[in-house]
């Protein structure tokens, strides 16, 4: 029976792979980040993340939410409010704090996109009054589970998994549903923390469907554009490895340093190490804390090679990177974090202010 079931599953997966294809930058909105802490540290989080945002960075970190349920919220706006990015999560400890379940939601939406399908009239004249607008929105729903495994004294192994559902919508004419899985581990030994996160470990499958009326189809036909039909795409697996070390500078001051390395397998990218088989992209982050109440952070990531001067004939290429800084403070069960980061790169800067809230849902004690 097991062999028959395995044969059926293999057949279905192979059939899906033959009809679909890997798309570079598929579901790229899932690579933006979650929470001002992570964004201010250059997205270097896989080893040190230890709160409700772990469902995004590394679900194994959810086990650090031990005593009370925790709520995380974040909002950011891009391009003068045209693009909006939101993140929310709820982590709930169970089994006496040995396990944690979590639910996370991500939404990236762009409004007021011009629809120019009917810009040109049948007689060839241009009518700007025919331009309408539509919105495009991407959603991700993450269901997480994490458990702590005691290896030996002061050595812990945390494991976690995500099941995720993707929903993407472009106006009234294109929708997609997808699903996939992530898995992560964290290992702690005194001041060291090691992490490994496998995103889209089984590949994430997106199925697109289109709703086009006869007028739109006629315009596509007359302009010799392909009329879209049902299509599928696969998001290739991504591996993130990281290590963090906690420097005890004094009784009150700690300095956490983390380095991550992203391994992508969807073709050649503009990264430090790039090939058709794998591309490697490093990330670095720092966090200084005072009494675990006040935090200052910085990070760099997104290393890319570009022309030194694109307006000249000089073909010399230089390395650029994406910097970020931030801060945060914690009062009782409330923590507010801030990040100031460049969402593009040094040659085309797009700096954005990002705020996030972390709230431990403690029960009121009776007097």
Residue 4: strand, helix, or coil: helix
CA-CA distance, 265 to 22, in Å (whole number)?
A: 10
CB 111 within 8 A of CB 85: no
DSSP letter, residue 60 = G
Instruction: Assign 63 to helix, strand or coil.
Output: helix
* Beta-carbon contacts of residue 30 (< 8 Å; ≥ 6 apart): 106, 140, 199
Q: Is 42 left (phi over 0), alpha (psi -120 to 50) or beta?
A: left
C-alpha pair distances (Å), 357 with each of 51, 202, 213, 335: 12, 32, 44, 6
Report the SS3 class of residue 329.
strand
Q: According to the model, what pLDDT value does residue 352 have?
A: 85
Q: What is the pLDDT of residue 315?
A: 67
Taking the C-alpha atoms of residue 77 and residue 353, their distance in angstroms, rounded to an integer, is 8
- C-alpha–C-alpha distance, residues 203 and 117, integer Å: 34
* Residue 350 to residues 33, 62, 81, 225, 355, Cα–Cα distance (Å): 16, 32, 13, 33, 16
Question: How much of the chain is helix, strand and coil, in % rounded to 5?
Answer: 15, 55, 30
Three-class SS state of 200 = coil
Whether the CB-CB separation of 242 and 282 falls below 8 Å is answered with no
Are 303 and 321 a contacting pair, CB within 8 Å? yes
CATH code of 14-360, in short, is: 2.40.160.40
Q: Give the whole-angstrom CA distance, residue 113 versus residue 119.
A: 14
Per-residue pLDDT of the chain (367 residues; tens, 9 = 90+): 333 333 323 333 333 333 445 566 678 888 889 999 999 999 999 999 999 999 999 999 999 998 899 999 999 887 767 788 999 999 999 988 789 999 999 999 988 788 787 777 777 788 787 787 888 899 999 999 999 887 677 788 999 999 999 999 988 888 999 999 999 999 998 889 999 999 999 888 888 888 877 777 777 777 777 777 778 888 889 999 999 999 988 889 999 999 999 999 888 888 888 888 899 999 999 999 999 999 999 999 888 877 666 555 666 777 778 889 999 999 989 999 999 987 655 555 667 889 999 999 887 655 5
- Answer yes or no: are the C-beta atoms of 195 and 47 closer than 8 Å: yes
Phi, psi for residue 22 in degrees, rounded to 5: -70, 135
List the chain domain ranges: 14-360
* Beta carbons within 10 angstroms of residue 63's beta carbon: 25
Residue 246 in contact with residue 256, Cβ under 8 Å? yes
- Provide the phi-psi class of 174: left if phi over 0, else alpha when psi is between -120 and 50, else beta: beta
């Amino acid at each position: 029976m097991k062999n028959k079931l395995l044969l059926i599953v293999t057949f279905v997966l192979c059939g899906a792979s033959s009809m679909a294809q890997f798309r570079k930058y598929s579901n790229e909105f899932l690579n933006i980040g979650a929470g001002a802490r992570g964004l201010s540290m250059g997205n270097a989080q896989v080893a040190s993340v230890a709160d409700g945002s772990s469902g995004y960075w590394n679900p194994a970190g959810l086990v650090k939410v031990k005593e009370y349920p925790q709520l995380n919220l974040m909002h950011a706006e891009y391009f003068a409010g045209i693009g909006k990015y939101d993140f929310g999560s709820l982590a709930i400890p169970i089994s006496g704090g040995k396990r944690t379940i979590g639910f996370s939601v991500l939404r990236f939406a762009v409004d007021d996109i011009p629809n120019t399908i009917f810009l040109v009239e049948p007689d060839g004249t241009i009518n700007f009054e025919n331009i309408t607008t539509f919105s495009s929105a991407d959603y991700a729903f993450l269901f997480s589970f994490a458990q702590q495994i005691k290896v030996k004294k002061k050595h812990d192994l945390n494991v976690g998994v995500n099941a995720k559902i993707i929903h993407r919508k472009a106006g009234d004419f294109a929708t997609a549903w997808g699903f996939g899985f992530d898995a992560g581990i964290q290992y702690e030994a005194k001041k060291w923390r090691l992490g490994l996160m496998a995103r889209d470990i089984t590949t994430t499958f997106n199925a697109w469907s289109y709703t086009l009326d006869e007028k739109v189809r006629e315009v596509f036909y007359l302009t010799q554009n392909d009329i879209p039909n049902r299509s599928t795409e696969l998001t290739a697996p991504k591996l993130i490895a990281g290590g963090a070390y906690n420097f005890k500078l004094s009784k009150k001051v700690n300095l956490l340093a983390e380095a991550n390395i992203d391994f992508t397998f969807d073709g050649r990218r503009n990264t430090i190490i790039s090939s058709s088989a794998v591309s490697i992209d490093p990330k670095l982050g720092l966090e200084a804390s005072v009494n675990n109440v006040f935090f200052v952070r910085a990070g760099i990531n997104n290393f890319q090679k570009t022309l030194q001067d694109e307006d000249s004939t000089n073909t010399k290429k230089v390395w650029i990177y994406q910097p970020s800084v931030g801060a945060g403070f914690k009062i009782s069960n409330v923590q507010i974090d801030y990040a100031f980061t460049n969402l593009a790169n040094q040659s085309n800067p797009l700096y954005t202010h990002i705020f996030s809230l972390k709230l431990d849902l403690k029960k009121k004690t009776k007097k």
